[in-house]
Amino acid sequence: MMLQFLVNATTLGAFYALVAIGFSLILGVTHAFNLAHGEMLLLSGYLAYFLGKHFGAPLLLILPVSMLTMLFAALCLERLLRRVPEPHELNTLVITFGLVLLLQNAMLMAFSANYRIVAPETGPGQTPSSTLFLSETQVLILGLSLAATGAVFLLLKRSFLGKALRATIQDGEAARLAGINVKHMHLLAFGLGGLLVGTAGPLYARTAYLHPFGGMEATLIAVILTIFAGVGRIRGLLIGGWILGLVESGTVLLLGTNWRELASSLILIALLLLRPEGLLPKWAKTRP
Amino acid sequence: MTVQVSHIFRLSALAASFFIGFNLLSPPVLLARPLRIGEINPLTGKLAKHGQEIHEGILFAVEEVNKRGGILGREVQLVSRDDQSLPEVAINQTEDLVYGVGVAGLTGGYVDSLVGPISEIAARHRVPYVASASLQRNLTIGRRNPYFFRVSRLDGIVEPLCGFLTSQLRPKNAAVLFSATPGSSEFASEMRTCLKQAGVPVSTFDKFRPGTSDFSSFLMKLRMERADVLISGGFFPDHLLLARQMKDQKLSLRAYLGPWGVAYPSFIEEMGSASHGLFGMCAWNPGITLPGTEQASEAFVNGFRTRFAKQPNTTTMHGYSSARALLAAMEKAMGKHGGVNGDALCRELRSLDLLLPMERLVFDDNGDPRYYRQVVVQIQEGRMVTVYPPDRATGSIVTESP
């Protein structure tokens, strides 16, 4: 039973991390507070839902289509936000809030107010033992989340491009003076963010329900985890996601479902008071 | 400039003479001022699905009356407002309908957190309000509001469900999960009392916030506590997630019961074969109607399909029934007094006796419907089969777990 609890909690945490990485990367590099992150995730989820339901497309095909579509959407968003005057952070907040309303109503017209979900697999799921139940979705979430987090981590840590991105996260102006093309870094951050949203969206359609007004929950997860981890801290996001998953799942198991939000809020407040720089220790501050 | 002014003058004179001539030649019904009723529903936001369903039911009822020539020759105009699934917006929109538009009566509303504030404004301005979907007891019993009526009541859900559980299912160990909304919380505590009185232990009694997407730990708890029946007071999307996650976790229960949200064709469509065996409740559905109203029910289904190109459901029927009540009261008030005002409408609503596909609609002293009673249905191979009460059953229970 303990093993089952750990599997459920880490799957939940890994999914939280996958939802948050794109948001955190964009915020870190461009300082754009993308409130429409959840709506983009929903769009990707709807795309996966319709491709699966009406064309019978397998997830292996849905994933690249969704990633490319969201890459295009994120690059369009970057073009839009590039024109936003100073103060950039505040203005991007206002613009993306407008975008939230626009996307919500567009989705309402396009997909109706019906709740959608990718129906569960009817065949036998992955069951390593008689006491541990591991569904296909859980395997996918764990696998894709670890792969995406690992890939972004390696990109930031091991490549020259990653170094440039990290420099832009730390200080955009200094990076510009050092000869880094900050505009290209912004484009790259949005591009990566779009690919990550395109990866998370089809999984979102399998774990949560799709509704035109359901995006704010996902944005909140991304914001909370970014505060947990510190902006642009990829390892911190994964660890933060797992802590949040463990706390939420443990609270439900021990105290009841209604204590879940209270427990995660308390953790968040405590963290903001005790470790305002994020979860990871200070020596890891310059690392992704 | 002079040319322009004289041109505008000539055009205005032509338009005015055309308007006067048109009105003189038209039948008198077009000259009569329309009767206005207001409707507040969550047409956008989280509850938009059910808000739109109620809206379509109300619209259908109003169009039906207008097709028959209106009420004593006066057209009924429906003024719709969207509360965006937010109580504060519901308050603003109701005030606009009452002050700005000057509606004769109000209808619509989904969930008590939205219906409650509307009912208070209705009472303050003496405008009758017939709510389409409301359950919370203290809206009627605890606090007398003579201007508030509704077409549904909690007892109409709790009593048949309790009867079904204690006489048919007889769980060994039940779990109750409910949403943090007034109606759902009240429902859950009623169910716990009912089960305890029948000697059924309730091992889990958990509340969750609407919008919760992960129930895996809750389901683990059910497995640990060996619950065999889960009564879930969540709504449509919560059932989607719970049923999905139960399937993923291979949790076998004797019965999963969701009074709100399972007995919908769209739920069956979304869940596919995973919906097989789940229990839900409804007051009406195409093919599930009050005995003696089969023809009216079929006419409603056919008319609705022609108008909206889709199938109505139990929520649509709640909207239709509430509008029918308000329109019938208006017709009676117009017949007696030649006009409508809040107090006259309330008097007529209190003396109303309507046979509708969903219920025989008679309001008690508190404004609750006297005969509202839902049936328990089970989804069997994509169809809703009524399994309780016995006098309305169309099939028996199948035992496969969801």
Nearest residue, CB atoms, A120 vs list B221, B247, B266: B247
- Check CB contact under 8 Å for A1 and B224: yes
Same domain, B222 and B337: no
Q: Which of A83-87, A90-94, B225-229 has the lowest mean pLDDT?
A: A83-87
Same domain, B48 and B144: yes
In this prediction, residue A263 has a pLDDT band, given cuts at 50, 70 and 90, of confident
Whether B106 maps to a domain, the answer reads: yes
* Chain B interface residues (partner A, CB cutoff 8 A): 44-46, 48-49, 51-52, 85, 177, 180, 206-209, 211-218, 220-221, 224, 236-237, 240-241, 243-244, 247-250, 266, 270-274
User: Does B30 score more than 90 pLDDT?
Assistant: no
CA–CA dist B48, A199 (Å, integer): 28
Same domain, B97 and B164: no
A-B CB pairs within 8 A amount to 116
Fill in the amino acid letter for A47: L
Q: Strand B202-208's sheet: what is its strand order? A: B202-208, B174-179, B229-233, B255-258, B279-282, B375-380, B383-388
Question: Is A229 or B170 the better-scoring residue by pLDDT?
Answer: B170
- Check CB contact under 8 Å for B240 and A115: yes
B36-61 pLDDT per residue, tens: 999 999 999 989 999 999 999 999 99
Nearest residue, CB atoms, B46 vs list A4, A12, A211: A211
Mean pLDDT along residues A44-68: 92
- Check CB contact under 8 Å for B244 and A8: no
Chain B CB contacts of A133 below 8 Å: 248-250
CA B347 to chain centroid: 23
Q: How many angstroms separate the CA of residue A158 from the nearest CA in chain B? A: 35
Chain A CB contacts of B203 below 8 Å: none
B118-131 pLDDT per residue, tens: 999 999 999 999 99
- Check CB contact under 8 Å for A252 and B224: no
- Check CB contact under 8 Å for B248 and A135: yes
Smallest CA–CA distance from B216 into chain A, residue: A8
Whether B93 maps to a domain, the answer reads: yes
Same domain, B165 and B124: no
Radius of gyration of the CA atoms of chain A, in A? 19
The confidence score (pLDDT) of residue A283 equals 47
Mean pLDDT along residues B351-360: 95
Whether B15 maps to a domain, the answer reads: no
The confidence score (pLDDT) of residue B385 equals 96
- Check CB contact under 8 Å for A105 and B266: no
Nearest residue, CB atoms, B220 vs list A8, A207, A214: A8
Same domain, B180 and B278: yes
Chain B CB contacts of A208 below 8 Å: 213, 241
- Check CB contact under 8 Å for B213 and A209: yes
A120-176 pLDDT per residue, tens: 665 545 555 567 778 888 888 999 999 998 898 888 888 888 889 888 888 888 888
Which sequence spans correspond to the domains of chain A? Answer: 2-117+133-284
Nearest residue, CB atoms, A211 vs list B180, B216, B237: B237
In total, chain A counts a number of residues equal to 288
Q: How many angstroms separate the CA of residue B39 from the nearest CA in chain A? A: 19
User: Does B294 score more than 90 pLDDT?
Assistant: yes
Strand segments (E) across B89-147: 105-110, 129-133
At B269, list the tokens. Answer: 């469509």
Q: Where in the sequence is the domain holding B74, given as residue range(s)? A: 30-152+292-361
The confidence score (pLDDT) of residue B141 equals 81
- Check CB contact under 8 Å for A253 and B207: no
The confidence score (pLDDT) of residue B174 equals 94
At B83, list the tokens. Answer: 């509360």
Q: Which of A79-83, B21-25, B346-350 has the lowest mean pLDDT?
A: B21-25
B243-292 pLDDT per residue, tens: 988 888 888 889 999 999 999 999 999 988 889 999 999 999 999 999 99
Query: If we measure between CA atoms, which residue out of A2, A43, A48, A24 comes closest to residue A206?
Result: A48
Fill in the amino acid letter for B42: P
CA–CA dist B352, B354 (Å, integer): 6
Same domain, B164 and B129: no
- Check CB contact under 8 Å for B217 and A253: yes
Mean pLDDT along residues B217-225: 89
- Check CB contact under 8 Å for A114 and B49: yes
Chain A CB contacts of B217 below 8 Å: 5, 8-9, 248-250, 252-253
Q: What is the CATH number of the domain that holds B218?
A: 3.40.50.2300
Same domain, B180 and B268: yes
User: Does A254 score more than 90 pLDDT?
Assistant: no
- Check CB contact under 8 Å for A213 and B46: yes
Number of H helices and E strands in chain B, helices first, is 13, 14
Task: Quote ipTM for the complex.
Answer: 0.82
Chain A CB contacts of B48 below 8 Å: 108, 113, 211-213
Specify the 3-state DSSP secondary structure of A125: coil
Number of H helices and E strands in chain A, helices first, is 11, 0
User: Does A198 score more than 60 pLDDT?
Assistant: yes
Whether B179 maps to a domain, the answer reads: yes
CA–CA dist B360, B44 (Å, integer): 31
Chain A CB contacts of B272 below 8 Å: 119, 122
Whether B172 maps to a domain, the answer reads: yes
Whether B397 maps to a domain, the answer reads: no
Whether B400 maps to a domain, the answer reads: no
Q: Which residue has the tokens 């019904």?
A: B29
Q: How many angstroms separate the CA of residue B46 from the nearest CA in chain A? A: 6
Same domain, B118 and B258: no
The confidence score (pLDDT) of residue A231 equals 72
* Domains in chain B, number: 2
Orientation angle between helical segments A215-229 and A88-111, nearest 10 degrees: 150
- Check CB contact under 8 Å for A209 and B180: no
| Alpha-carbon distances, residue B36 vs B30, B206, B238, B330 (angstroms) | 15, 44, 37, 10
Same domain, B164 and B134: no
CB B114 within 8 A of CB B83: yes
In this prediction, residue A5 has a pLDDT band, given cuts at 50, 70 and 90, of confident
* Chain A interface residues (partner B, CB cutoff 8 A): 1, 4-5, 8-9, 11-12, 104-105, 108, 112-117, 119-122, 125, 127, 133, 135, 137-138, 207-209, 211-214, 217, 248-250, 252-253, 256-258, 260-261
Nearest residue, CB atoms, B208 vs list A117, A127, A257: A257
Same domain, B225 and B203: yes
Please list, in sequence order, all residues whose beta carbon lies within 8 angstroms of the beta carbon of residue A122, skipping any fewer than 6 positions away: B272, B273, B274
Whether B308 maps to a domain, the answer reads: yes
